[in-house]
């Protein structure tokens, strides 16, 4: 079974198992946390990355992880060993031991030339988005509470950002009109990434569609025209 080094904290315990015990004696690069986050988010399957988190950050036993996923302990061991081999690859190693932190160009940032749109008045300022049942009013409330921004505004991890952009979800209001089930249909977007997206939206008092809006082509058309009108008024 994959041997977990419990005598040193995360992420050094993971690096010891991946690169050897001598790693425990070395001074880790100052950018190790950012480098590891980038590798786990962008260079490894989401399930494998989360298993490493459970094993090395949360100190779960292999049999506990196996029970969580409904897999055998032997299968979890195989996944961990495969993840170790992936981390040893030079493409990943440079972010972990060689102090090659994530390039700034790879971090999604709010576009400098993004048009500053004037949000409409909030039709229900005292009411939570999820409690607004009328779809038209809810869309207006989403627009008023940050929905006009591009998704860079949410400061999403690179995996979530890439998944949404490749699916042409470029603005916050578009994201808020999608349900969790719809997002899980996007390639490489798993439950962990979904939870992160929901957390980022919640920080701005926004949520995904819980099914109450019953979004159809007519509602999408209304939202697109509303957005276009607001953009035109801001020019």
Tokens 């302990």 correspond to what residue? 73
34 or 124, greater pLDDT = 124
Whole-Å CA distances, 167 to 45, 182, 192, 194, 208 = 18, 11, 18, 14, 16
Based on the fold, state whether residues 133 and 229 are members of the same structural domain: yes
Whole domain around residue 37: which residue ranges? 12-106
Whole-Å CA distances, 174 to 34, 56, 118, 209 = 29, 36, 17, 10
Based on the fold, state whether residues 137 and 102 are members of the same structural domain: no
Tokens 């979890």 correspond to what residue? 76
- Lowest mean per-residue pLDDT among 6-15, 98-107, 129-138: 98-107
The CATH number given to whatever domain includes residue 182 is: 1.10.150.20
Region 179-207 average pLDDT: 88
Based on the fold, state whether residues 102 and 150 are members of the same structural domain: no
Region 143-170 average pLDDT: 89
Number of domains in the chain: 2
Based on the fold, state whether residues 30 and 85 are members of the same structural domain: yes
Region 90-114 average pLDDT: 62
H or E segment to which residue 216 belongs: none
- Note whether residue 4 is domain-resident: no
- 139's tokens: 């869309």
- Note whether residue 97 is domain-resident: yes
Count CA atoms within 13 Å of residue 85 on its CB side. Answer: 5
Residue 198's pLDDT band, with cuts at 50, 70 and 90, is very high
Residue 235's pLDDT band, with cuts at 50, 70 and 90, is low
Based on the fold, state whether residues 89 and 146 are members of the same structural domain: no
Based on the fold, state whether residues 172 and 93 are members of the same structural domain: no
Does 9 have pLDDT greater than 90? Answer: no
- Note whether residue 122 is domain-resident: no
Residue 113's pLDDT band, with cuts at 50, 70 and 90, is very low
Q: Which pLDDT score is estimated for 109?
A: 53
């Amino acid at each position: 079974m994959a041997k977990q080094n419990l005598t040193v904290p995360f992420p050094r315990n993971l690096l010891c198992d991946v690169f050897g015990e001598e790693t425990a004696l070395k001074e880790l690069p100052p950018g190790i946390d950012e480098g590891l986050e980038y590798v786990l988010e962008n260079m490894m399957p989401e399930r494998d990355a989360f298993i490493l988190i459970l094993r090395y950050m949360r100190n779960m036993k292999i049999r506990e992880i196996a029970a969580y996923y409904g897999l055998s302990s032997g299968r979890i061991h195989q996944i961990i060993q495969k993840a170790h081999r992936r981390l040893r690859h030079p493409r990943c190693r440079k972010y972990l031991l060689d102090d090659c932190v994530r390039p700034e160009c790879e971090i999604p940032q709010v576009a400098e030339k993004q048009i500053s749109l004037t949000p409409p008045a909030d039709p229900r300022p005292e009411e939570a988005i999820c409690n607004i049942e009328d779809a038209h009013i809810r869309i207006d409330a989403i627009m008023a509470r940050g929905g006009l921004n591009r998704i860079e505004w949410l400061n999403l991890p690179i995996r979530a950002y890439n998944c949404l952009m490749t699916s042409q979800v470029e603005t916050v209001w578009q994201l808020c009109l999608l349900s969790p089930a719809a997002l899980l249909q996007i390639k490489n977007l798993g439950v962990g990434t979904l939870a992160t997206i929901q957390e980022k939206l919640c920080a701005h008092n926004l949520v995904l569609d819980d099914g109450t809006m019953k979004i159809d082509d007519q509602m999408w058309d209304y939202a697109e025209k509303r957005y276009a009108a607001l953009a035109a008024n801001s020019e």
